Amino acid sequence: MKTVFIALLFFAMMPFLVTVPALAVEPNEIMEDSALEARARAIGKGLRCLVCQNQSIDDSDAQLARDLRMLIREQLLAGASDDEALAFVVERYGDYVLLRPPLKSTTYLLWLGPFFLFAIAITVTAFYLRRRRRNLASPRTLSPDEERRIQEILDRHP
């Protein structure tokens, strides 16, 4: 009875166990101009935090991420466009900070590689299917030699 009760309690608490991701952006960072703030948030979501690597600077609590968020806000306040604010960070940290890498000569393999592999897979499958269909359409017949051997085996085990 007790275990059932504990189990019920556990299920009753389930909704509260689902956590809402905490905001890394702290209240004192948020800009008064909500349009600018929205732009800063969008830029921050696209920038990798180099300390934690798989988080955006918008999600990260790292000191560097915080510094970069402040920098972006400063840039926007100074009248920079989204692209200029992004370029400011990329100039210093390279394309790797962009969570969505740009399409250029060094990233062709990255962007086009999957399509290339998919094309190979499709081609190989097509060839395979075609050959199989051809084989099914004209099944190979046994050679006289094979016929004779089968007959021998059948004779041995009547």
Partner 1 sequence: MRISVLLPLLFFAGLLAVFLVGLGLDPAVVPSPLIDKPAPEFALPSLEGGEDGFKKADLAGKITLVNFFASWCLPCKIEHPLLLKLKQEGRVAVAGIAYRDTPEATQNWLAERGDPYDRIGTDLSGRIAIDWGVYGVPESYLVDREGRIRWKHVGMLTPDAWQENFLPLIEELEK
Residue ranges in 114-143 that form contacts with partner 1 under rule CB under 8 A: none
Applying CB under 8 A, among 53, 105, 138, 141 the residue interacting with partner 1 is 53
- Paired tokens of 95: 């394309």
**Cβ distance 59 to 24 under 8 Å?**
yes
**Cβ distance 67 to 47 under 8 Å?**
no
Is residue 113 near partner 1 by the rule CB under 8 A? no
**Cβ distance 24 to 65 under 8 Å?**
yes
Applying CB under 8 A, among 4, 21, 35, 91 the residue interacting with partner 1 is 91
- Smallest gap from residue 94 Cβ to partner 1 (A): 4
- Paired tokens of 147: 């016929």
DSSP conformational letter for 80? -
- Paired tokens of 146: 């094979």
Is residue 111 near partner 1 by the rule CB under 8 A? no
Is residue 98 near partner 1 by the rule CB under 8 A? no
**Cβ distance 41 to 25 under 8 Å?**
yes
Applying CB under 8 A, among 3, 28, 34, 63 the residue interacting with partner 1 is 63
Q: Which stretches of the chain bind partner 1, using CB under 8 A?
A: 50-51, 53, 63-64, 67-68, 71, 90-96
